[in-house]
Structure 1
Amino acid sequence: MSQVGTPGSPGPEAGLVEVWGDTVNETHVKISVLLGAGLAVPTFLVAREVLSATMENQDLAKTYAMLAGLLACLVAAIVSARLFEPKRIVSEQTLDREQQIEAALDIARQPLGMGRLSDLDDAGREELRRLGLDEVFEEAERRLAAQTAVDEQQIDQIDVAGPGAAR
């Protein structure tokens, strides 16, 4: 759980934390966990007592009691989802062509990269064309290739000049 905003800070992020990649209100998470435990544990214990007293197969009684506890967790999750609305802040903006190219270059610079357009099948190329992104990715590939060529040339110059020449 990482802190997104501090509880006393002003603004929309006050009291928000990130849990499993989602932004949530810290107090609401604590209430939801307590609600889940408060419903699941007693449900399990009562079901185990009732089923153990009424069933011959004690292993099966314990299994059904566990199932009852899990169902109580599900009920707690549904109640929590109804009580606490999502805290996501979604903003939509239109990027101009240069910003789109920069975004594609950012993706390409990630450890796994973005692949190459030549690797796409016809359906993939058609999808990019329909979205108007084929030219964006083509330009990003051109810029990335040019940058790679410049980087390689600089490395070659350093290698030729010998150690310590880049300083």
Structure 2
Amino acid sequence: MKPELYEVWGDTVDVRHLVYAILIGAIVSLSAFFTAQHFLLEWVASAQMARAYAMLVGIVGCLVGGAISASLFKPKRHVVEHEADPAWRSQILKDLQSEFGDLGRLADLPPETIAELKEMDLYELFVDYEKGLHNAGADSPPAVDGLAANGGRS
């Protein structure tokens, strides 16, 4: 039987586990509250103060119930990593160039930036893009919509 998964407060939950967690929390916190109230009514002079302290113990019971539920019911998240489509990445670079003008040259970047691009697997994308510009005979991109290659007005 496949579990029914829902999103609650930005997290994915199994409905059965959510109901069980609510029941565990209610049982633990109410048990803590009523037990504390029973003993505190005998030890504390004011019944109102005994109930107030019992509520604090009940809140601690809520935390304990949450810890029990967290240990019993593991997260249902599945992180899926996938590589972006190279054609999509190239299109993004073309869109950036048409919107902002010349993207600059890799040779002009500091070594730290080059290392960061390589770490994010983006370096080859920019190398290929520069080769494409050079092969097309576009060492400097043309002005787009009244903008010069450096992004200024022509």
The TM-score with structure 2 as length reference comes to 0.55
1:15 to 4, 21, 26: 4
SS at match of 2:52: helix
Q: CA deviation at 1:101?
A: 7.5
Relative CO higher for 1 or 2, CA cutoff 8 Å, sep ≥ 6? 2
Identical counterparts, % of pairs: 34
Partner of 1:35: 24
Alpha-carbon distance in structure 2 between the residues aligned to 1:67 and 1:102: 58
Figure out how many residues of one structure are paired with residues of the other and give that number.
107
When the two chains are superposed, the root-mean-square deviation of aligned CA atoms in Å is 3.3
Partner of 1:87: 76
Partner of 1:55: 44
SS at match of 2:82: coil
SS at match of 2:23: helix
| Structure of larger gyration radius | 2
AA aligned to 2:69 is S
Partner of 1:74: 63
Alpha-carbon distance in structure 2 between the residues aligned to 1:102 and 1:53: 75
Change (3 A) 1:101 1:31: farther
Change (3 A) 1:57 1:15: same
Q: CA deviation at 1:102?
A: 7.6
Alpha-carbon distance in structure 1 between the residues aligned to 2:89 and 2:51: 57
AA aligned to 1:44 is F
Gaps of 5+ in 2: 93-112, 127-144, 146-154
Q: CA deviation at 1:76?
A: 1.0
SS at match of 1:23: strand
